[in-house]
């Protein structure tokens, strides 16, 4: 069982930045992918970004490329999401996710989820 705890969400104005953190604990194993998803009000949860087990590969939703950056620290069992130039449409609950695969981008490939952290971007 893997537990994930997100932090770093909050209220920010349009154009601002936030950095989300996710710390994993439990039986992560040696090599695993991490991802960030979000669920906007009234919408389904969608992938934001993902990173491979060694950080060598990353994936971003097309609409977010250039504004969001995913990274990880295997020593800290942590993943991060740097979000710049935030827009009101980025308002959502952001979820960290763990996959036992070396890389994953499909929601079904992620086995554990955090509780979510709210990001609200005011106009």
List, for residues 55-89, the tens digit of each pLDDT value: 999 999 998 989 999 999 999 999 999 999 999 99
Alpha-helical runs (H) found in the chain: none
Asked whether residue 118 carries a pLDDT value surpassing 90, the answer given is yes
> Which two structure tokens, joined as six digits, stand for 3?
């537990």
Please give the helix or strand (H or E) that residue 81 lies within, else none. strand 78-83
Q: Residue 30: which pLDDT band, with cuts at 50, 70 and 90?
A: confident
Nearest to 34 by CA among 122, 109, 116, 117: 109
Distance (Å, whole) CA 95 – CA 6: 7
> Which two structure tokens, joined as six digits, stand for 36?
């960030």
């Amino acid at each position: 069982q893997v537990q994930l705890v997100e932090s770093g969400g909050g209220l920010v104005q349009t154009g601002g930045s936030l950095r989300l953190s996710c710390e994993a604990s439990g039986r992560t194993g040696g090599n695993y992918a991490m991802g960030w998803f979000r669920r906007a009000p009234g919408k389904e949860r969608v992938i934001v970004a993902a990173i491979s087990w060694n950080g060598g590969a990353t994936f971003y939703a097309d609409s977010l490329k250039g504004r969001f950056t995913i990274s990880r620290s295997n020593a800290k069992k942590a993943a991060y999401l740097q979000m710049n130039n935030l827009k009101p449409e980025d308002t959502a609950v952001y979820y960290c996710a763990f996959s036992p695969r070396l890389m994953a981008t499909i929601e079904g490939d992620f086995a554990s989820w955090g509780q979510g952290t709210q990001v609200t971007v005011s106009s």
